[in-house]
Amino acid sequence: MSDQVDRTNLPPVGEEVHMPESSALPLINAAALALAIVSITLSWWLVGAAMVVFLGTTIRWIRDVRRDIADLPLDHSSH
């Protein structure tokens, strides 16, 4: 017996799947936030430094994601 497969709803051949590039930003961002929280009991200067790193990596991460989204094709009529 042959199993018939419905091939009418398959995506076009060669369609790419978008995968974001690997980045250390999420790890650095999380480490800076953890350091800021822990250093509340140690030093306000350390809290400030960690928050500067946290905000810097957050802004850069958002900018990278926006650039990746802008590179995606606008036409999704084939789905």
Q: Where are the domains of the chain?
A: 42-69
| Tokens, residue 58 | 């957050």
Average pLDDT on 38-45 reads 95
The dihedrals phi and psi of 19, each to the nearest 5 degrees, come to -125, 125
Share of the chain above pLDDT 90, in %: 53
pLDDT per position as a tens digit, 17-35:
677 788 999 999 999 999 9
Residue 54 near residue 34 (C-beta atoms within 8 A)? no
The whole-number pLDDT of residue 15 equals 59
Type of residue at 58: T
Averaged pLDDT score across all residues of the chain: 85
- Say if pTM beats, i.e. exceeds, 0.85: no
Residue 26 near residue 60 (C-beta atoms within 8 A)? no
pLDDT per position as a tens digit, 6-18:
667 766 666 566 7
